[in-house]
Structure 1
Amino acid sequence: MFADDDRPKRKTIHEIGCDLTFLSAGELEERITLLRAEIARLEADKASKTSSRSAAEDLFKQK
């Protein structure tokens, strides 16, 4: 009836500590890419917040 290509592709997610036994090398690579992107997003947000805090601290030191 339906070809596999017609079905919507499931979004790749990764749960920390999940069983990796039945994942292919390709699926593992997808998860590694996903996690690297998430790490970059977290680091960027951390840098933004650190910068904002430093700016606020500098403002209050001047007064």
Structure 2
Amino acid sequence: MTAMKFRLGDTVRVIDRADYHFDQVGRVTSIDKSPTAMMPFRITGLNPISPLWYAPDELILADKEPHA
């Protein structure tokens, strides 16, 4: 098994320009560690209705958003 790019609780930014949530910040809340998982990172905070799943190349680590 290869090392995961992100860990649970990491704050990440969507970098896929074709994605509706491009440049938005969310948090990794689940990781699918199965070897066939194409989009192993479950991200919350982008969509108010449901969490979204992303591939490693669609995300980067982001600075934590300051609390308002």
TM-score range, shorter chain: under 0.3
Structure 2 length-normalised TM = 0.22
Greater per-residue helix proportion: 1
- Normalised by the length of structure 1, the TM-score is 0.23
Q: Which has the higher strand share?
A: 2
